[in-house]
Amino acid sequence: MIKRVVKNAEEALKDVKDGMTLMVGGFGLCGIPENAIAQLVKMGTKNLTCISNNAGVDDFGLGLLLQTKQIRKMISSYVGENDEFERQMLSGELEVELVPQGTLATRCLAAGYGMPVIYTPAGVGTEVAIGKEVRKFTFNGEEKEYLMEKAFEADFALVKAWKGDEAGNLIFRSTARNFNPMMAMAGKITVAEVEHLVPAGELDPDHIHTPGIYVHRIFQGKNYEKRIEQRTVRKKL
């Protein structure tokens, strides 16, 4: 069996270099690879391109890398919770590519499936389509215009799972099963941090969300804060 288990985030990310492109799993602050992000901050790796649904908040998640100005470009869908992101974007310090959420997900899937491009009606006739190929296709009896979008090419995919085994098989929990599974398929090197690392064969095969064939390095994380982006509670009756 291929050895996939590494000791910690430091060992897992030792060959991440300046200027690389990283996919970072998570939705809001749910299911983000907290240990990997903290290690990147510690390493000081700079000029990164990050592909992520969002950019964290000012003092957590990818917001930590924005604070230290280690990210050169963000490719994201929703970025409305981060004041530092807004400041850097408006000042021209940060390059930003906004992508419709479904397109972002499908470009990740395309990379995992080995498909160089996809065609989608999302973004046709908007700023998203500037400089991109548009073709007409007939589908379900209707001719429409479709925008060509390229599959993502990422040097690393950094994902977070609830449980994983030594063979790299992963199980995600609740909302954390968002962009993590599709990004895990798409990275040239996929690093998975998990809350519980168990021996190979212990996971029920019917419950595995990401097969270990996609995972190159896995380690058990620690000290998860699991912060809630916007806590909303019901008034006491």
Q: CATH homologous superfamily of domain 9-100+153-220?
A: Glutaconate Coenzyme A-transferase (3.40.1080.10)
Query: Residue 225 has what pLDDT?
Result: 86
Report pLDDT digits (tens) over 192-206: 999 999 999 999 999
- The residue-averaged pLDDT of 69-92 equals 92
- The residue-averaged pLDDT of 79-91 equals 89
Instruction: List CB contacts of 95: < 8 A, sequence separation 6 or more.
Output: 72, 73, 74
**What does the block give as tokens for 105?**
């997900």
